[in-house]
Amino acid sequence: MSEELIPETPEQETEENEAAEPIKQRKNGLYPGVSDELAENMKSGWADTELHDLEPIAQAEHTAARRAALSARFPGERLVIPAGNLKTRSNDTEYAFRASTEYAYLTGDQTQDGVLVLEPTGDSGHEATVYLLPRSNRENGEFWLDGQGELWVGRRHSLTEAEQRLGIPAKDVREVAAALTAATGPVRNVRGHDASIEAALTDKVTAERDEELRVHLSEARLVKDAFEIAELQKACDATARGFEDVVKSLDKAEATSERFIEGTFFLRARIEGNDIGYGSICAAGPHATTLHWVRNDGAVRTGDLLLLDAGVETNDLYTADVTRTLPINGTFSPLQRKIYDAVYEAQEAGIAAVKPGASYRDFHDASQRVLAEKLVEWGLLGDLSVDKVLELGLQRRWTLHGTGHMLGLDVHDCAVARTEAYVQGTLEPGVCLTVEPGLYFQADDLTVPEEYRGIGVRIEDDILVTEDGNRNLSDKLPRQADEVEAWMARLKG
């Protein structure tokens, strides 16, 4: 990658770091090779690229409704929701930017450094303003001399364009800190995303009040609107195609490693969406017993199972979260099938428990009971009854984790919702969650027969609660063992 122009002397470097110093006031020697003539030449000869009469983004009406609900919850208070900033990966390179979930949920925008401010009005409502970095200045050389100028990182929307797209009045983000510092009255801020905003609000906010805002925004996402449901379906459909890509390329993975699987799925995620929604778990053989195996550097061997847990994140940042456990050679061995069928039966019981009015924990309890029954049946828990096993939680040696979680803009969505609203809550139409039971027999577990050791199976689907039950958003991928084998045979040709 190209390196940014660097000041020639320490004095010039100090000058560059003074944010108040406009580029147009700097001397020619500030950057090597920038003459008066070049600086003047770069000011002119550029076409007008302003876009006019832009259509609003697809979710504009939904983000407006979300902001209205937020306004009603916190009348008379100034609400500040930052997008966040670039994060350094190493030295002078950054990670790809991903807007904060709260900001994306309320604006539909994904711009780094953006800030949404809801100003209270006299009628107990709010007036929303989104603060963004405007187009690069051509007159002072910012667009080509600054590391975040448009010739370095690409064209931005003008503030007028942003207003048309988002349906929110837009202002220059370089004004927001001063505006917040001068503001009076109660303020709440979503912390952890923008240190400069937090500094501007130091004397105006409290941790407790800010946390109330963050918790509310987490709970607001428990029930998805129509746009969100469509995005999750889109993510699941793309994810299904990514799993098909992996099956078609398993011979190449056997010749290399799990990383070929990881790269294959990543290609689909980038073609059809923004990215992967989380680090893909491409766990072959005994790696399948490690719940979050993301090193993906192991061998892929015929006769073993592949546990693939991966999800495409759409361009609007909604992610799928799907797991399939596949026989690498296309056929389950008798023992693999026995364990797989047990997990499938447990998932069927869990999915059946997802419906309006059910307690959130019901699907977990239903799945765990089936797995406990299988473990008792296989003689792995002595002569204990299933009820006693569940009372003592002994099945968890091999089931390990909860059976699911909320899904949406985050793979573990609504993560800071209150316990009473989430895990002690009641399901209602619009809730989307995963159902993902598993059995994991560690390679060094001496309490199970040797042939079980190193086998891990998880099956995971994304389930939407509907008015009369549920809908499996990821049902384009087969789950039943015979169907999995037939599907793999067809894809492998």
If asked whether residues 233 and 326 sit together in one domain, one would say yes
In a domain, 1, yes or no: no
CATH of the domain at 196: 3.40.350.10
If asked whether residues 183 and 86 sit together in one domain, one would say yes
If asked whether residues 104 and 193 sit together in one domain, one would say yes
Angle (nearest 5°) at CA 277 between 111 and 263: 110
In a domain, 55, yes or no: no
If asked whether residues 94 and 191 sit together in one domain, one would say yes
If asked whether residues 206 and 246 sit together in one domain, one would say no
Can you tell me the distance from the alpha carbon of 385 to that of 366, in angstroms, rounded to the nearest whole number?
A: 16
What dihedral do alpha carbons 264, 268, 274, 276 form, nearest 10°? -40
Would you give the DSSP letter of residue 353?
T
- The first and second tokens of residue 267, run together, are 């290609």
311-359 tens-digit pLDDT: 999 999 999 999 999 999 999 999 999 999 999 999 999 999 999 999 9
Q: Which of 220, 244, 273 is the last residue of a domain?
A: 220
In a domain, 313, yes or no: yes
Q: What is the pLDDT of residue 1?
A: 55
354-369 tens-digit pLDDT: 999 999 999 999 999 9
Confidence tier at 19 by pLDDT (50, 70, 90): very low
In a domain, 4, yes or no: no
Query: What length is written for the chain?
Result: 493
If asked whether residues 213 and 336 sit together in one domain, one would say no
Are 76 and 68 contacting, i.e. CB atoms less than 8 angstroms apart? no
Q: Return mean pLDDT, the chain.
A: 93
Query: What are all long-range contacts of 468-474, with beta carbons under 8 Å and residues at least 24 apart?
Result: 468/355, 468/356, 469/354, 469/355, 469/356, 470/351, 470/354, 470/355, 472/351, 473/232, 473/233, 473/236, 473/320, 473/432, 474/236, 474/239, 474/240, 474/320, 474/322
Can you tell me the distance from the alpha carbon of 373 to that of 493, in angstroms, rounded to the nearest whole number?
A: 38
Nearest to 319 by CA among 331, 309, 333, 306: 309
If asked whether residues 203 and 324 sit together in one domain, one would say no
Q: What is the pLDDT of residue 29?
A: 41
In a domain, 163, yes or no: yes
If asked whether residues 251 and 145 sit together in one domain, one would say no
Q: How many domains does the chain have?
A: 3
If asked whether residues 419 and 399 sit together in one domain, one would say yes
194-221 tens-digit pLDDT: 999 999 999 999 999 999 999 999 999 9
137-181 tens-digit pLDDT: 888 888 998 888 999 999 999 999 999 999 999 999 999 999 999
Q: What percent of the chain has pLDDT over 90?
A: 89
Amino acid (1-letter code) at residue 187? V
Confidence tier at 400 by pLDDT (50, 70, 90): very high
99-142 tens-digit pLDDT: 999 999 999 999 999 999 999 998 889 999 999 999 998 888 88
Q: Which of 193, 220, 247 is the last residue of a domain?
A: 220
Q: Is the dihedral of CA 458, 464, 469, 475 positive or negative?
A: negative
Can you tell me the distance from the alpha carbon of 91 to that of 335, in angstroms, rounded to the nearest whole number?
A: 50
In a domain, 53, yes or no: no
Q: Which of 176, 203, 220 is the last residue of a domain?
A: 220
If asked whether residues 279 and 209 sit together in one domain, one would say no
Which residues constitute the domain of residue 37?
A: 10-41
In a domain, 35, yes or no: yes
- The first and second tokens of residue 442, run together, are 């560690």
281-302 tens-digit pLDDT: 999 999 999 999 999 999 999 9
If asked whether residues 336 and 394 sit together in one domain, one would say yes
The pTM of the full predicted model, rounded to 2 decimals, is 0.93
If asked whether residues 200 and 257 sit together in one domain, one would say no
For residue 205, CA distances in Å to 40, 51, 99, 178, 212 come to 46, 39, 22, 16, 12
In a domain, 381, yes or no: yes
